[in-house]
Chains A and B, each alone.
Chain A
């Protein structure tokens, strides 16, 4: 099954909408609640990253009985040093974003700790692609 969600950069009031919609899908498919939680937490963090840093983005999700594959591609400033961005607490979020309760530098580490696979590719000045994968059966 395939799902797509468009994400608007800077619209914090809508941040989390895609995660909520996809959560409902996983519940309806009777996916294990623990895996739902892991997936939704990772997806939410990645969705907020697009809202906080990029101009716009699209989330594409492919789902079958074996795995959940999430591809988040954005047009945005890109990440100059991915390794640094992966460190806990490292953040480039603006003070305004932090005031809204985002940008604590835990987003990427949180995705990492929940996902079975995480791959980030980025081109400075163009955008970022985050791929997150979960396996349904151990």
Chain B
């Protein structure tokens, strides 16, 4: 299993792409190349972190969510909202206004994802205790991190905590609850409002479970705009929104950096931002770090508050959530309306469903499946690297000299793609100027290499 491509939510629109290569330079797994003046994504290397989306100057990269109107395919339309959504809005806008706005858009129920924390918290502590021989355990919360481990740190896949994140638990709960209230399976549409591409990819092709129970995904910036418009126009008075219960203080901060680590017993450490995560996992893989029980790893700076689809300033969002949590803590963490059947009353059912299946490695580093072939290619790789200038200019259409060497070995590129090599070959007479222009056109597109388009 898992040998096929990952599903990716990141979509590169060739007709918009100007081939500026910004995305290529920032991709932490070197998954992007430029060919014919357009960025191309290697689906086997991409982990859906969304760094490319952040830097694209022309919005050529889109994150594919579902059509909003898909919600109307269902009679019960449930919006699953992560706590950070509330943190996107200015502080004078209340939670009630926001929920009412969501309901105005056509949702029948609104539910906060982090209610699932009430179930996960105990399960997580049981899991860390039951797996004492496996250290450090790595949280399954961030789907980009799970995929990063699969492709870049295959020996650490066993360290991933095989428990569903709060999102899945919340979705399971709401479905069960709606069914108990008389709805049928196909009447229930659960829509997740996502702060990032990785969560979409995880829902469309889940790792560690068979299929997802979430019916659709809506990008957070899309919903933010729709709700904010309603509020700006005078607001909704549709205040009776089913499903709302106050989150506990620790649930509010769960998706922020340190939110999970604070609730797991033992020596825990929280790290955010994908390069930081990579740097730390290198050490974990070497077993240089042996005294940590639990690692909370998040691909985005400031965790989900820094998600690529979270339009608010990530520091303000984090701050708002902490303030909301402080208020909650002050009021006491377990109130809730008694007439509502809270998630904890489904605890047993939900815990039965809480396990994920094994996560498999999908190494991107290998030269070849066959080791003797891989050794030949590695020798070739080392020889090639000596010929290249090691300036990582990216003019060859690969992000680094190392990446170009790998591509050449895998027959995806040529040594003469390197502009330094081209100059030397030109001087030697083994390539003509029109040869090298042709090479550059193949990489950067005809238009960019057309002398009449810009220099006339």
Residues of A within 8 A of B (CB): 1, 16, 19-20, 23-25, 27-31, 33-34, 36-37, 40-41, 44, 63-65, 136
Contacts and interface: CB of A to CB of B under 8 A. Distances in A.
Contact of A30 (B286, B288, B368): B368
B374 interface: yes
B363 A23 contact: no
Contacts of A31: 371
A30 B287 contact: no
A17 to B, nearest CB: 10
A27 B154 contact: yes
B29 to A, nearest CB: 13
A28 B366 contact: yes
Identify whether the interface residues of B are mostly helix, strand, loop, or mixed.
Answer: helix
A35 to B, nearest CB: 9
Interface centre among B283, B285, B361, B379 (most CB of A within 10 A): B285
A67 to B, nearest CB: 12
Contact of A1 (B282, B288, B375): B375
Contact of A29 (B154, B155, B287, B367): B367
Given A20-B286, A23-B285, A28-B378, A37 B155 contact: yes
A29 B375 CA distance: 6
Nearest to B381: A28
A18 B288 CA distance: 13
B371 A29 contact: yes
B285 A40 contact: yes
A28 B365 contact: yes
Nearest to A1: B375
B369 interface: yes
Contacts of B372: 65
Given A20-B282, A36-B155, A37-B155, A30 B363 contact: yes
Interface string B132-167: 000000000000000000000011010000000000
A41 B371 contact: no
Contacts of A30: 363, 366-371, 374
Interface string B99-123: 0000000000000000000000000
A64 B369 CA distance: 15
Interface residues of B, number: 24
A19 B288 CA distance: 10
Given A19-B286, A44-B286, A33 B155 contact: yes
B286 A1 contact: no
Contacts of A44: 286-288
Contacts of A16: 283, 286, 288
Interface string B339-378: 0000000000000000000000101011111111011001
A28 B370 CA distance: 11
Contacts of B288: 16, 44
B390 to A, nearest CB: 16
A23 B286 contact: yes
Contact of B361 (A20, A25, A33, A136): A33
Interface centre among B154, B283, B369 (most CB of A within 10 A): B154
A65 B366 contact: no
B384 to A, nearest CB: 13
Contacts of A19: 286
B286 A41 contact: yes
Contacts of B379: 1
Contact of B378 (A25, A41, A136): A25
Contacts of A25: 378
Contacts of A29: 366-367, 371, 374-375, 378
B367 A28 contact: yes
Contacts of B361: 33
B155 A24 contact: no
A34 B381 CA distance: 25
Contacts of A63: 375
A37 B290 CA distance: 14
A112 to B, nearest CB: 15
In order of increasing CB-CB distance, the 3 nearest A-B pairs are: A30-B366, A33-B155, A27-B365
11 contacts: A1-B375, A16-B283, A16-B286, A23-B285, A28-B365, A29-B371, A29-B374, A30-B367, A33-B154, A33-B363, A34-B155
A120 B141 CA distance: 45
A98 to B, nearest CB: 14
A41 B287 contact: yes
A24 B369 CA distance: 15
